[in-house]
Amino acid sequence: MAEEKHHHQLWCGVEEVTTYGETTNAYGSRGSKYSESTDASYTRQTCQQKFLSFQVDNLEFLREMRINPIKVAKALVEVFAEMIFVHGFVHGDPHPGNILVAPEGPNGFCLVLLDHGIYKQLDEEFRLDYCQLWKALILQDSNKIQQLAERFGVGKYSRYLPLIFTGRTTESKSALGRGMSAEEKKNLKQELKSLKIEDLSSFMESLPSDFLMILRTDGILRSLLSKLGAPQRVRLLTYAKYALYGLSPKLNPETDLGAKVFSSRFMANMSYLQLRLVLEVLEFLSWIEEVKHSFVQRFKQILISAGYLVRNLLTLSALTP
């Protein structure tokens, strides 16, 4: 939807718009609304609502409304992560015109999703495999990635899945979200030279349709997050968290005991915290390695500079009568 000028007002009915948390009417009878300044609360929309809203990537509007773009980015990625990993739905066209941000309260906001004619319900087996894939990607578990790639029909190209989704290979020593080192990029460039057009065509043709749609959606989201100024790590950790939620047993709060629901959520949160701990330790070790490398390089530079200084002093003394 094209934006008009500032203070554009959008009228929308319950069948046309979805606020954060309700990704599609296929979720069932539950609708929801999310305000950044409060916790998500599920409510049923029963009448038309009037939104003062702009496209999610309108940075000028966000600045005027004193809305933090990074918080918008985090809310946005959580919307789609929960939608895909937990509920098994994917919005096929999340371009900025289909995602609006509206101010709500002092410095708060809500996200509005439009155009629900292109949702796709993911196969349940695929959804679980995709959750497992993201857990393996974050932990750099090459064996599990290989196993899942074979289930997706692209076992031959399993080593490229981490590169596609996380920007690094399973052998990469760089921290999550930091990208690869210059040496790693050089080695990968050499490796990619061996790939042919036929290999790329074979890879794309072998992927399930669910996978292809997620790839497209993820690519658009990455572009939006980048424009909003969010580091890649935000997307990666959010995906990891909701992948673990998606692997938890599905319980119905209305029929299952509260203790059972709490226990399931608690275990999912604990798994996520354990994953975060592993990542933080790996990042700390990577930082130590970087400091060590930097120190060695700096020390070499000092030695070289000292060598030049001594040589110049000796030359000067030799020339002095």
Catalytic center residues: 93
Output the six-digit token pair for 159: 């080593």
With residue 297 as reference, give the H or E element that holds it: helix 258-319
**Residue that the structure tokens 């918008």 belong to:** 72
Distance CA 156, CA 145 (A): 11
CB-CB contact of 12 with 49 (8 Å): yes
CB-CB contact of 21 with 42 (8 Å): yes
Distance CA 117, CA 290 (A): 48
Output the six-digit token pair for 307: 């060598």
Give the contacts of 244 (CB within 8 A, at least 6 positions apart): 131, 135, 268, 271, 272, 275
Question: Which residue(s) pair with 50 in the sheet?
Answer: 11
Q: How far apart are the two ends of the chain, measured CA to CA in Å? A: 84
Output the six-digit token pair for 303: 């030695």
